[in-house]
Amino acid sequence: MFIQRQNLTKWLTMALLICLMCGVSSCRSDGDDDDNEPFLPYIGTWERIESSEEGSISLELLITQSAFAVSWSMTLDDEWIDMMLIEGTYSESNNVFLLTVIRFGILDEDTFELVFYTPDDIEWDQILDEELEIEDHFEAKFIVTGNELNLIIDANGDGIFDPIEEGETFTKK
């Protein structure tokens, strides 16, 4: 009987260890969980809509872990038309974000479709400078308060991010 109890104790101990190992293994992070990533309040989809007598303009800003996209649409005869899309990446240092434009699309008035450009295109610099009036690299700040994001671009290059003069407020979508 003593031998049987020893075997039973061994089996129970072994079963308990296996259960514990499975429990610990299932709790280990596999990299898919967002719990280990820092909370970044600016990540998400944000929108800004302005209306006037001529119609409405909608800006939608999508920010992910390392990329951004800005789409600009407007109403024409009560129908939304996509006018522009700017895509890029960003890096952050001391709460200042360096945004890099990697692709943009502009509405072709003949086909009513977006025509896309990348840095490899000859027209890249000319369109960015003259039509869009932006650089392909620029600094910005994202300030989140509640469900609002203030995107502040140092437009005049003075190193001061003025939320009133250089900021645009978006609402969480």
Per-residue model confidence (pLDDT) at position 18: 42
Whether residue 113 contacts residue 158, with contact meaning beta carbons closer than 8 Å, is answered with: no
Residue 37 has pLDDT above 60, yes or no: no
Helix (H, G, I), strand (E, B) or coil at 135: coil
Per-residue model confidence (pLDDT) at position 121: 94
145-157 mean pLDDT: 90
| All residues at 6 or more sequence positions from 66 whose CB lies less than 8 Å from its CB, including other chains | 89, 90, 91
Per-residue model confidence (pLDDT) at position 35: 54
CATH of domain 44-172: 2.40.128
Of 131, 132, 137, nearest to 97 by C-alpha is 137
What is the reported pTM? 0.74
- The residue that leads in pLDDT, 53 or 149, is 149
The label of the residue with tokens 């009036």 reads 133
Instruction: Pick the most confident of 2-6, 18-22, 163-167.
Output: 163-167
